[in-house]
Every structure is written in C-alpha cells, then in structure tokens.
Structure 1
Amino acid sequence: MISTLLSRTSGADGDRAPRLLYGADYNPEQWSRSVWEEDVRLMREAGVNVVSVGIFSWARLQPAENTWDFGWLDEVLDLLHAGGIGADLATATASPPPWLTTAHPEILPVTADGTVLWPGARQHWRPTSPVFRAHALRLVRELATRYAGHPALVAWHVNNELGCHNVYDFSDDAARAFQNWLRVRYTTLDALNSAWGTAFWSQRYTDWEQILPPRQAASHPNPTQQLDFKRFSSDALKEHLRAERDILREITPDVPVTTNFMVMGNTKGMNYPDWAQEIDFVSNDHYVHPGPQARDELSFSANLTSGISGGRPWFLMEHSTSAVNWQPVNVAKRPGDLARDSLLHVAHGADAVCYFQWRQSAAGAEKYHSAMVPHAGADSDLFRAVAALGATLKALAPVAGSEREAARVGILYDWESWWASEQDSHPSSLLDYRQEALDWYSALLALGVRADLVTTRADLHRHQVLVAPVLHMVPADLAKTLTRYTEQGGHLITTYFSGVVDEHDHVWLGGYPGALRELLGIRIEEFGPLLDGDTVELDDATTGSLWTDRITVAPGTDVLARYRTGVHAGRAAVTRKATGTGSAAYVSTRLGVAGLTSLLPRLLAPAGVESELPTEVRGLIETTVRSGPGGRFLFLVNRTDTAVPVRGLDGEVLLGTTEGDGGALVLGPRAVAVLRQPAG
C-alpha cells in the first residue's frame, strides 16, 4: 500500500504527518558532483519530498562483471536523507550495460521477422533470457543488501516501464518459454489443439517443440496462438517483476515494492490489472497526447489507473512539466496546464505526483524533454510553476490516504477484449477499442456525469449503470456475471462487436452477439462494417460510422433508435431489454462523442442517473470524489479556457477562490478547486 510509503517519508524536521508526495526521476549520475547539493537545495525550495533514483545507472553501478561502484550512490542517498527527501530506489535493470551485451549478445530481443534489436537505446533484453535474469538478479541482490538499512530508502522501483520496448520477443529463448507456458495452461496437446482450432489450415501439433511464437508468416497466424502469445508475453514480464520483487522482499521485507505502469494511449501489451496483484502499490506514467480529447484522455487514464488499483491511492511516477521529446511536434504546456494536469491525477487517486525528470538533461535522447529544473535553470517561469504546485500539494495534505468514492456509472475496460478485438482478419481493421471507450467517457464528461473506469476484477454491482464498449471476449462466467448484474437491478450498456467470442477466441455460435444474445434480446446474423469515411443516419438525428448491424429484435425488447439511411434503414440501431429489475442496452454503431452525448440521457434514465452539478456548469466542470477519515474531498476541474463560477456546493475550500461573501466558487481557466465535506 502507498500508505506504507507515506509513513516512511518524513520532512527534514522528521515530521511524519500524512502528506502528498512530490518529486521526480533524479539522475545525478548525469551531472558532476558540484551540482548535487544545489539539487537538494532546489528540491526543498520546490517542496519535493521523494525522488526515484538509479533507474538507468547499471553501467555506473557495475562498470564490469566483477567490479562495483556504489560510492556515488551512497553519497546521493546521504544528501537526500539530510534534506528530508525520500528515495524510491530503482533496481537499475532496465538498460543492460555495454559490457553485458558484448559478452552475451544472446540476451538481445528478436522481432517477429527475425531482426535482432541491438544496444544503443534501452530495454535491449529478452524477458525470458536466463542469462539476463541471472545478471539482473545479481545486481538487485547487491543493491538490496547494501541499502537495506539506509534511512533515505522509502520504496523499491523494479526495473522501469517494463515492456515499453521489449514486450514481444520472438527469440529461441521466448519459444522455449512459450512452450513451457502452454504446457502449464493446457496440460495436453489435445487440449491445446482444441483451444487453438488447429484443424484449420492443417496446423495440428503432435509435439510441444513444434510450437513457435507467431513469427512472421506467409499469411495470418493462428488467432488463438496470437492471443496466447500476448498472454504469455505479459506473463513473462510479470515473472521478471516477481523475480526482482522476491529478492527485495527477502532482504527488505518492510520496504514497499512497485513498478511503473504505462496506462496511457495505445500501450496495451501488459495486462496491468493482472500485474497489480504483484506489487505493494500501483504506480503509473502518463504523458498528454495532443488532440481534441487530450485532457479527457488524461482523465481517462488516471481514472483507469485508479480502477486497476481497486480505488486505492496510487503513485504518479512520471509525467511532464511541459513539452516531451518523442512526438512529431513537441508543444510546450500553456500557463496553468502543469498544475491542472497534475491535480487531475490527484483527483483520480494519486497520492504522489512525480515528473520525468528533476533536471533537464544536457545530452542524450531526452535532452529536449522538459523537467522540473529546465535548461534555463531555477530562474524560470517553469520552475516557479513547479514550486507553486509544491505549495499547493502541501495544502492538500488532508487528501492523502483517501480512496476513490464509487460513481453510479462504471465503464468496463477489459484487457483481453482489447487484445482480441483488434487482431487481424476481422470484419474491420478500423476498430479502435480504446477510442470507443474514451468516446463514452468523453460523452459522460460532457454531460457532467461522474464515471469510474473498472476492470472485470471489480465488484460491478457498485455501479447502477455499467457501460461495456466492444466487450468482444465474453467467457461463460462473465456472461453469467453480467446477467446477474442486470437481474439484480443493474443497467448494462454494450456495443457492436461485443459478446462474440469466448476465452479461446472461438465464436459463440447461433448468431451474434453470442454470449450476450439472450440478455440483450437481439440476434444478428451478419456484421455490417462500414468503409472508412462512410456514415449512416439514425432517426434520433445522430450519425453512425465504422459499424452497423442487421438486428432482429426479440419480443420484449424495445427499440430506442432506428437507422434512417443505409442498407439497414428502418431496422433497429439502439435497443434495450428489461431483465429482472435492470436492463441491457445495445448500440450497434459508432456514434462518436456528440452522438453518445445525445443518446446517453435516455440510456441513463432507467437508473435515474444524471449529473450532480448545477445545470449551468455541466460539461464545463469535471468532478471526482475521494473519501477517507479526513472527510469527503470534492475535486472540481475546469475543462475550459475561461473562468467558470460554480454555485450551490457546500464545503471547506481547500483549494480555489470564492467571489464575495457567500459567493460562487470561481474556477479560473484550466483551474482546479477542492472542497472538503463531512465524511459519510
């Protein structure tokens, strides 16, 4: 739990009162010794109380196989402790040193077409390499033994962004490990052949050693082989995480262990809800991606991180103070964005706000990536904004340790449906699982309706409405869970290409949407994907794209909207069926944010769900709620570039300004306010 880390972190005066953590990746090895004391002084000025250290320092810590150099790190940790700054100490295994890859090129990963990924960047290692594992674990043991009692150590940081560049390795090591993984999963070759449908294209296996990763082939590889390789690849990285973690827990059982996820954009190779069970608290890295939904995506990712963490507080390990360096055009953040972006993560459960990195690099691939101390130095608007945020986080100390309060609406996000729905040889290659989920989220934000991103591991009954976009993979147990959910009063909303396959990527026969056909009260014989750019109009004035379905409606199922144009003109486009005391609705086309914003009030009505905000600010303000012993904390985030007054909300103002006696709470452009209300 991150509360353990909070309790281990104290100020320079030894105060251990609850606090939000603030800091960055700190890479002192990039700088001369003369800079280090200045770093600590500026960290204290900015309100920094935790930094991640040693992330890419393997070559410095171990300059040769049997040579170690810890003196510089000893001094850094001593300086940090003297300044009241805790160290989230990395295991430094993310980037193997040149001596290791020179001596053992067999640790280098291999792509599907057989290309070796050579050193020169980072993460040039195979997750299944026994040689790499041995060297990495030796380093972890040396670090843990040396710093087990160091007072600066508050947490362990395993590797760094596991799988960012090496999630899929097709080497011979990976092939052997994949075969062993499949033996455990299926036990017998008959079971594997059945699960993979190997009767198709003469693929039946008679020996485990015949099975390979889905390397570059003449045509589409077996779909279930592809899906299992995705599962295996996530598990292989998870096993590396566990191997490092187990050594750390053996030597330092009281120090919490984490690793930084990357819940953002199209990073999908790692099954983070599964990984979350392996660490003491969830950490995440997030960077804003330009586009019309940029800040909605930030909120979506932070919300999903909270869902992965089970609503418990988590650690924002990396984000940017301003521009990044890896987009086609790297635009600096506007005034106010630094604080709003950071506080939006806090609103969704982050108890730690950290950046990449502390001091902007003078050399290397990320020298143009912004940092807390920019190239311009401390005498800069950026550093002044950094220090101002530090003061704000100090004022929000009562929020620390509080958990996300469940919203009435949940959006179900399922990693395996994401994987399976976007594989090749499908009805449409244009389908984008994450974008569809983000569109529903943006529409709810536009209506001012609070929603939680949740996974299939969550208690779905906490939400009166459950939106499950493109829930493509539905095993029998999940179908039963969703049926129970609706029978007991929940209101399910799902979409096109949902319920189609089971856990082996086999189609549920008898008509679509397969496992959900009876629950939804509809039957579809054939999919109707649309060509890129084609649209259809519905009779409720919305416009659909990407997909249509020729729906046959069963008795007792209501039609909420019909197609007005297209080959299915006059037929159902949106349906709802009452089940028990709940209902199940189906949306058969991609409506986009505008169309969903128009449709959602009708879909939410049976549950009586609407915005908690005053009518005049719905869509302008995003709200989240965290609750704990210190109270109920209502976060209000201005989604616009103009000031927004908010009236009718009670509570102690922890952050924000009011206008006149008893006047409105005024949120400036891109501003955040926090109200503390009585608990319960």
Structure 2
Amino acid sequence: MRGVLLLGAAHYPELWTSEVFAKDLELMKRIGLNVVRVAEFTWSLLEPIEGRYDFVWLHELVDSYGRNGIRVVLGTPTATPPPWLVKKYPDVLPVDFNGVPARYGVRREYCPNNPVYRTLTERIVRRLASEFRDDGNVIGFQIDNEVHWGEASSWRYCYCPYCIARFREYLRARYGDIDTLNKAMGTLVWSHRFTDFDEITPPKPPFDLYNRSLTIEWLRFRSLSWVEYVRFQASILKEVAPDKFVTTNLMGLYPEIDYYELCRDLDVCSTDVYPKFGADTYDPAFIALIYDATRNMSRNRRFIVMELQAGATDGYGYVSPEGIGVFKLGVSPEPGEIRKWVYQAVAHGAEGVLFWNWRTNCIGKEQFWHGILDHDGIPRRRFNEVEKVFSELYRIGKAVDGTSVEAKTAVLLSYDSLWAADVIERGYYSHSYVGELIKAYKALWLNRVEVDVIPPNSTFESYGVIVAPFLYLADGGLVDRLREFVYRGGVLLLTPRAFTKDEYNRVRIDDTKIQELTGVKIKEYTRLPADSEALVKFTEWSPIMHGMTVRGSSWLEVYEPVTANPIAYTKWSWLSDEPIVTLNTYGKGETIAIGTVLPQDVLTNLVKEILVFKNIAPIIHEDDYDPSIEYYARVMGTGKLIFIINHGATDRKAKFELKNITEVTDLLTDKKIEPGKIELPLRAHDVKILSVK
C-alpha cells in the first residue's frame, strides 16, 4: 500500500452487462483510478446453492481489472446472506425483545453470535481467501460491510437465545460468581438480587428503566459481539492470505460499537464518509473529527476512506426509539466540493480515497445514491472533478508519501461515557455526549492545531493538552493515567459531569484520587431550565480569559475548592459568587474544571488561551481569522505540508504568516512563495497545499 495513494471507487459490475463493464474499464483508465472494491454483496453469486461455489466470474473480473492497471480490494460477502441461507437456517435472523425474528428482505439479516452463521461465515470467507491468496491483483480484503445490527433489527439489538446465553457467559467471565455481580450492580434495588446467571435477562429500550450497571454491560457486550465477529473473520483471512491487508469499513462515529476495539486486529482502518447524507449542509469540523478519530482507531495510525460521497445521496427510511423516519434525497455536491472532500481526507492522514460508487445503480434499493457516473454512464461534472483531483494527487503523491499527522493536543473519546449518557440516560440532559465531543474537537480545530481523538486506554505522554468532554464514566485506570498525565506537566480540560460514574455505571462516592486531580469537590449541581443561562465571570488574575464575562447553559455545578484556585465565579438564581471554573496545579501540570456548558465560541476562545498558556503554536498565524478556512498539516522531518481548504461557497483570501520558515512552495503549481506574511486567493471550495521547510 505504501508509495502510491489508493484512488478508486466501489464497483458493482455484476449488476451490469459485459458491454457496460468494458466501457467502465476504459473510463477508469482515463480517470486514473487504481483500485476498486468489489464483491461485498455477492454471496448469492459466489455460493448460489449451499456448498456449491462459483468463483469463475470473480476471477475473470479481477483479471480484467489487473490488465487495466487496477488493483482490487475484495469484500467478504457476509453483510448480505442469500435467500437460501435464511430459508434453511431461519434462526440466523436477529430477534427482538419479544422473540419476534426480523423479516428478510433488506440486508444485515443475521446475528453475529449465531453459531450456524459463524460456521457459514468461516466457510465462505476461507474459500474466498483461498481463491485469491496468490492473486497479485488482489491487495486486500474488506470484512463484511459497515458492521452493525442493521436495517433488519428495529431496535438494532438482538435478543436471540444465542445472544442471551453468550451475554450470561460474558457476565460470568467478568464477575466470576453471582454474589460478586449482585454486589457490584446493586441488584437489591427493586428486589432484583440474582441467585444464578441464568436468571439474567438483557435490558431493552428505553434502557433507563433498567439497572444501570446491567445495562452498561449489555451495551459493552453488544459492541463486543461485533468486535469478536470481525476478529473471527480477520483471523481466517490472515491465516489463509497473510500477504493481503485486512480492513473493514467503519461508519464515521457510529455510536453502538467501540471502534477502537474493532480495529485493534486490522492492518489498516477504513471509514465511510458522506458529508451531505440526510442534510442540506454539514460541518467540516465534524468530518475532520471522523478522520482524526479513525486515524487513532488504527493500531498503526493508517487509514483509508473506503466510501466517500460522489454525488447526491438516496433517501433512506429508518427506525429509531422515537419511531419511523426518513432521510430526504440528498443535495448534489457543489462544484469543487468533491475535490475538497478528497483533500480534507488526505490532509488528516488518509492513504487512500475510494468513492461510492462508480456508476449510479438503476435497480435495487439505492437507485438515487449517485456515483461518479450517472445512470447513463456519461462523464459529466462530477467525473471531471474526480479526474482532476486524481491527476493532482498522482503529481504530488511522492511529496505526500511518508508524511504523517503529529498532534500535541487530543480529545478523549469514551464509548462508556457515550453509552451511559446518550443511550442509557438518553434525554436526561439538555446537552449530549456526542454534541460536547464535537464541540471540544471543534474548539481545537478552529485554533489551527493538529488533533488526535483517542480512547481512554491510550498513553498520554506525547500530548500537551487533553480535552475530556462530558467524561461521565471513568474507571480507576483512566483516572490514574490522567493523574500521571497532569502530574508530568500536561493540561487537562474537563467539562461538566466529569467522573460522575465508576466503571460499573454507579455514582462514584470514593473520589479521593479525583479530588487530588481536580482540586475540588462539587458543592451543588442542577440542570438549567431551557430559557436560563448562568453568568460566568473570570477573575482579573485568571491566566486564561482574565476579566471576561460569558454565559453558560444546560447544566450548572459549583465547586468547593480543596487545592484548586477559582478562576471564574457564577451568578444564577439563588447562587451568587460561587466558583464555577477552577484551575488546580497537580505536580507539573494543571487541571481546569468547567461547571457549565459553554457555547462554541466561548469554548474556542478558552482553548486558544490554554494553547498559548501551554506554548502550543498553531500551524499558521492568521492576520485575518476566517473560520470557513481549514488549516491542517502533515509533517516529515523538518518539512511540512500545509493544507488550506476553503469550506465556504464563496471566494476567500487566506491571510497568514509562517514563522521560522525559509522555503515555501505551492505544491499544486510548483510555484515558489515568499516566506513570511502570505496572502492566497481561494475560490469557492478551493484547496491550496504548501510545502514548507
């Protein structure tokens, strides 16, 4: 994979005639496409009858791609079990809480814990790997497709006998005996004390009605079910075809699976990104967050965008706890947006970008999910734009290869906190975990620094600043690692409700270590009414935001300082002059605790002053700040590539200064630029890349 960026698309030649396939190959060569992902939905072709395989057609396709200089990523076809399988083995279908199985007819109609499906999975995956392990045109395998409980399960959970049995086994392995479980979970509440693991039934939505500890374990188990299923396939592929890379395509920040764990055994991470799916507009900071998270989900920080939006997306119905809804037909990318999306991915570390899909389908479900080509296959604006960006990336590929994103700041992404706050206690708070995560990331992104989005079990020594938004649930190990991080000189920024729950999702009582870290006790807290705001006034002697007055919403917690210094006080209703922002010196570092939910602009300014306080310099120094322009960097040695991306729909000018730089080159034009203060015109959705030394 190293050396050349993977530039390609998902392709479904099985849906078209051989004449269309031949035309596609000609256009792929013209556009400079060097890789396709194929076959992830072809189980009914590969095994039309149980035990009878047909790989001849797929070999012919792979050979045709190879003759045209196109490499192949093969998808294991397990996301779409064929009709014969479900007819013969109906218990592979996921089952709802009432024991009703899903109806066949969409996709993802299977339970990953079903032993029969595991057996059938091993058979088809092993055969696929065996067929292509010596084929040089095949460079890797994608496991399944967007693993999740899927459209077949209205609540996206399975309560089949196999899931229930394995959940009980999971609990037995974790707790050892039933008395330990009862004690840890507090099952005496509502007289739920168990005498045997076989008495335990998984909870169902709405989850807040159930024991909090049991429910967090169910959500962990549900995630682990997919982690183990992906790991199961990865082990087969690596055993049979060890020279091919193994990946699976994630779905951005899909909340139901711990992606850090899912990717641990993969050679490279992949993700799918559709900026305008289900919405007329989008926040480019959120897309950047997806990339910076995916990079850190990969055990070697390598990732591919396996599916990038190539045109307007299809409408999509969905079922949620709130009922049935639908995403409208998407709006088409504006001129320049597709190229911009590619460069944003590359800026954040992507080693390849594949579009979904090559040619818009005329049949089946996703008839209006547009690809690079429209239904008629005639090259138009989107095709030409992809051709342009591929051509540019071939020219600059050597300069990009070997560079990487190096961050001194990080945002902590805790799936336990997400599940505890946004799933189990969904709707309890006026703010959400995911919302605060995005806000925290954006506060760093807008301050022009590189960011890693990291899990709780990371090592923190390479960072100067860590933001831990809404860290609702934290185990003792995480508390100890954060203490060590601060003690050695780091700055930790905490937002409201930090450390509220322990690893069992119980309200934490023993908080001695946390008090040493934060230097405060929580004196009082309340949810703020929807129309209410708390006044927050920073002191004149505060090292950040000194003398400023701002407002917070949603939540209010006031502090009783133990060793911390109050740097802001609040006034709200009956509360007056109570500490609401504190700074605690712990060892060589500092912990800053904020007791209310700050708006984006205030949090961004606060983070800016923390970065100055910690001497973390931005990528560029702006003369005229424009939040619609993104700056991001990839480095190698003393050199750096600075990506400048106009996310606005109008022309802009990037005005900034590069300090301590002696050489600047516009990588896309090879023109030299005078170092120092720089002014660059940017068309709508335009991109510039500067090579600096």
Q: TM-score with structure 2 length normalisation? A: 0.90
Alignment check: 8 A CA contact 1:656 1:667 kept:
no
Could you tell me how far apart the structure 2 residues matched to 1:464 and 1:550 are? 27
Query: Which 5+ residue runs of structure 2 have no aligned equivalent?
Result: 317-326, 538-547
Could you tell me how far apart the structure 2 residues matched to 1:666 and 1:458 are? 40
Structure 1 residues 361 and 342, CA gap change in structure 2 (3 angstroms): same
Residue 523 of structure 1 aligns with which residue?
Answer: 521
Q: Does 2:645 correspond to 1:637?
A: yes
Q: CA deviation at 1:331?
A: 1.2
CA RMSD of aligned residues (A): 2.4
Structure 1 residues 218 and 553, CA gap change in structure 2 (3 angstroms): closer
Could you tell me how far apart the structure 2 residues matched to 1:25 and 1:427 are? 38
What amino acid does structure 2 have at the position aligned with 1:212?
T
The CA deviation string for residues 550-581 of structure 1, in whole angstroms up to 9 with x for no partner, is 32223x42222222333433212221112222
Could you tell me how far apart the structure 2 residues matched to 1:185 and 1:70 are? 43
SS in 2 for 1:538: strand
Q: CA deviation at 1:92?
A: 0.7
Question: Which range is displaced more, 598-607 or 95-104?
Answer: 598-607
Within the candidate set 302, 309, 312, 1:320 is matched to: 309
Q: Does 2:552 correspond to 1:544?
A: yes
Q: CA deviation at 1:164?
A: 5.4
Could you tell me how far apart the structure 2 residues matched to 1:142 and 1:385 are? 39
Question: Which range is displaced more, 617-626 or 100-109?
Answer: 617-626
Alignment check: 8 A CA contact 1:109 1:169 kept:
yes
What amino acid does structure 1 have at the position aligned with 2:30?
E
Q: Does 2:296 correspond to 1:281?
A: no
Alignment check: 8 A CA contact 1:413 1:456 kept:
yes
Structure 1 residues 400 and 62, CA gap change in structure 2 (3 angstroms): farther
The CA deviation string for residues 11-56 of structure 1, in whole angstroms up to 9 with x for no partner, is xxxxxxx111111111111111221111111111111111111010
Could you tell me how far apart the structure 1 residues matched to 2:398 and 2:295 are? 19
Q: Does 2:60 correspond to 1:47?
A: no
Residue 364 of structure 1 aligns with which residue?
Answer: 364
Residue 227 of structure 1 aligns with which residue?
Answer: 216
Residue 15 of structure 1 aligns with which residue?
Answer: none
Residue 141 of structure 1 aligns with which residue?
Answer: 126
Structure 1 residues 398 and 313, CA gap change in structure 2 (3 angstroms): farther
Q: CA deviation at 1:624?
A: 2.2
Could you tell me how far apart the structure 2 residues matched to 1:581 and 1:661 are? 40
Alignment check: 8 A CA contact 1:536 1:564 kept:
yes
Residue 534 of structure 1 aligns with which residue?
Answer: 532
Structure 1 residues 643 and 376, CA gap change in structure 2 (3 angstroms): farther
Alignment check: 8 A CA contact 1:473 1:503 kept:
yes
Q: CA deviation at 1:168?
A: 2.5
Within the candidate set 588, 591, 601, 1:584 is matched to: 591
Alignment check: 8 A CA contact 2:313 2:329 kept:
no
Residue 105 of structure 1 aligns with which residue?
Answer: 90
Structure 1 residues 501 and 399, CA gap change in structure 2 (3 angstroms): farther
Identity across matched positions, percent: 27
SS in 1 for 2:461: helix
Residue 322 of structure 2 aligns with which residue?
Answer: none
Could you tell me how far apart the structure 2 residues matched to 1:515 and 1:396 are? 51
What amino acid does structure 2 have at the position aligned with 1:521?
G
SS in 2 for 1:546: strand
Q: CA deviation at 1:248?
A: 1.4
Residue 173 of structure 2 aligns with which residue?
Answer: 184
Q: Does 2:184 correspond to 1:195?
A: yes
Q: Does 2:684 correspond to 1:669?
A: yes
Residue 272 of structure 1 aligns with which residue?
Answer: 259
Within the candidate set 563, 567, 582, 1:560 is matched to: 567
Q: CA deviation at 1:659?
A: 9.6
What amino acid does structure 1 have at the position aligned with 2:526?
G
Could you tell me how far apart the structure 2 residues matched to 1:310 and 1:291 are? 34
Within the candidate set 142, 146, 161, 1:157 is matched to: 142
Alignment check: 8 A CA contact 1:399 1:630 kept:
no
Residue 10 of structure 1 aligns with which residue?
Answer: none
* Matching of residues 92-491 of structure 1 within 5 Å: 92-163=77-148, 165=150, 168-215=157-204, 220-264=209-253, 267-289=254-276, 290=279, 294-309=283-298, 312-325=301-314, 326=316, 327-402=327-402, 404-425=404-425, 428-491=428-491
Could you tell me how far apart the structure 1 residues matched to 2:148 and 2:204 are? 18
Question: Which range is displaced more, 449-458 or 364-373?
Answer: 449-458
SS in 2 for 1:655: coil
Structure 1 residues 150 and 657, CA gap change in structure 2 (3 angstroms): closer
Question: Which range is displaced more, 238-247 or 370-379?
Answer: 370-379
Q: CA deviation at 1:178?
A: 0.9
Query: Which 5+ residue runs of structure 1 have no aligned equivalent?
Result: 7-17
Residue 664 of structure 2 aligns with which residue?
Answer: 651
Alignment check: 8 A CA contact 2:490 2:590 kept:
yes
Alignment check: 8 A CA contact 2:293 2:454 kept:
yes
SS in 2 for 1:213: coil
SS in 2 for 1:459: coil
Residue 600 of structure 1 aligns with which residue?
Answer: 607
SS in 1 for 2:643: strand
Alignment check: 8 A CA contact 2:264 2:299 kept:
no
What amino acid does structure 1 have at the position aligned with 2:497?
F
Could you tell me how far apart the structure 2 residues matched to 1:235 and 1:95 are? 21
In terms of fraction of residues, the more strand-rich structure is 2
Could you tell me how far apart the structure 2 residues matched to 1:229 and 1:430 are? 25
Could you tell me how far apart the structure 1 residues matched to 2:130 and 2:626 are? 53
What amino acid does structure 2 have at the position aligned with 1:213?
P
Q: CA deviation at 1:375?
A: 2.3
Q: CA deviation at 1:404?
A: 3.4
Q: CA deviation at 1:527?
A: 2.8
Structure 1 residues 348 and 661, CA gap change in structure 2 (3 angstroms): closer
Could you tell me how far apart the structure 2 residues matched to 1:282 and 1:191 are? 38
Could you tell me how far apart the structure 2 residues matched to 1:56 and 1:284 are? 18
SS in 1 for 2:596: coil
SS in 2 for 1:524: strand
Q: CA deviation at 1:112?
A: 3.3
Alignment check: 8 A CA contact 2:567 2:582 kept:
yes
Structure 1 residues 500 and 24, CA gap change in structure 2 (3 angstroms): same
What amino acid does structure 2 have at the position aligned with 1:251?
V
SS in 2 for 1:163: coil
SS in 2 for 1:363: coil
Question: Which range is displaced more, 479-488 or 558-567?
Answer: 558-567
What amino acid does structure 2 have at the position aligned with 1:345?
A
Alignment check: 8 A CA contact 2:646 2:687 kept:
yes
Residue 616 of structure 2 aligns with which residue?
Answer: 609
Structure 1 residues 443 and 250, CA gap change in structure 2 (3 angstroms): closer
Q: CA deviation at 1:238?
A: 1.5
Alignment check: 8 A CA contact 1:112 1:216 kept:
no
Q: CA deviation at 1:291?
A: 7.0
SS in 2 for 1:506: coil
Structure 1 residues 468 and 660, CA gap change in structure 2 (3 angstroms): closer
Could you tell me how far apart the structure 1 residues matched to 2:188 and 2:668 are? 64
Q: CA deviation at 1:216?
A: 5.7
Question: Which range is displaced more, 622-631 or 561-570?
Answer: 622-631
Question: Which range is displaced more, 81-90 or 208-217?
Answer: 208-217
Could you tell me how far apart the structure 2 residues matched to 1:657 and 1:664 are? 17
Structure 1 residues 247 and 107, CA gap change in structure 2 (3 angstroms): same
Question: Which range is displaced more, 579-588 or 401-410?
Answer: 401-410
Could you tell me how far apart the structure 2 residues matched to 1:454 and 1:637 are? 24
Alignment check: 8 A CA contact 2:448 2:632 kept:
no
Residue 622 of structure 1 aligns with which residue?
Answer: 630
Residue 30 of structure 1 aligns with which residue?
Answer: 15
Structure 1 residues 217 and 550, CA gap change in structure 2 (3 angstroms): closer
Structure 1 residues 430 and 403, CA gap change in structure 2 (3 angstroms): farther
Residue 12 of structure 1 aligns with which residue?
Answer: none
